[in-house]
Amino acid sequence: MTASVRSVFVVAAIGGLELVGRPEVTHGWYEQSALKGMSVGALAAHLARQIHRVPEVLANPVPDERPLNVVEHYTRSAWVTAGADDEPNVAIRERAAENAAIGHAEVYLRAQDSLTAVRAALPSEPVDRVVRPPWTAWNLSLDDYLRTRLIEIVVHSDDLAVSVGVDPPDWPDEVVAPVLGVLTTLSLRRHGVPALLRTLSRAERAPADVSAF
């Protein structure tokens, strides 16, 4: 039986939080991370925030509107096409720094509390549950929203691991598959079939960039 995205999200959240809790993250909290303009602490807090956000979003009012799908969500998200120093991405870095200011121990404990809340809440949510993330102007299905958080956790876990010189989590296939599925779809829309096909099969003809964002 294929694992549900809700159970997969919990697996990813546990793996991401284990990384946040590592002593290397504690020791490097105020050092520069692998991401421009973000300390290790800010990056770890941003990663932990993906767990916090789920109970917050579940508690947020939902307008009676058709939910967008994941591709529509990323197409409309300002940060996707913004430069690193444009307002949407600057705001993300500033929020991450604010969240990191409470220190490693408190970031980790708050994320643990949120993970407990998530594990209790998700199994009872209806199959057709719709949410409205407060930083967007549109609805998503709960499962599509969790897919966007999966991407955040997996991608930023790699960023954080590189930042502190440790291996990234060894994600199971059920975590990797939906992440790569969405990223591949977005890459195809941005670069086209030939670019992605050559990257995967013909290194001598591969373009320099097939990033999804």
Find the Cα–Cα–Cα–Cα dihedral 170, 133, 98, 20, rounded to 10°.
Answer: -10
> What H or E segment, with its residue span, contains residue 131?
strand 130-131
Q: What distance in Å separates the CA atoms of residue 195 and residue 206, rounded to the nearest whole number?
A: 7
Count Cα neighbours of 21 within 13 Å in the Cβ-side half-sphere.
11
Question: Residue 126 domain-assigned?
Answer: yes
State the pairing for strand pair 130-131/140-141: antiparallel
Whether the model clears a pTM of 0.75, i.e. scores above it, the answer is: yes
Please tell me the total count of domains within the chain: 1
Residue with token string 């991450």: 96
Q: Which residue segment(s) compose the domain that 107 sits in?
A: 5-172
Span 90-127, pLDDT tens digits: 889 999 999 999 999 999 999 999 999 999 999 999 99
Report the pLDDT value the prediction gives residue 87, as an integer from 0 to 100: 84
Specify the CATH number for the domain of residue 81.
Answer: 1.20.120.450
**pLDDT confidence band for 2 (50 / 70 / 90):** low
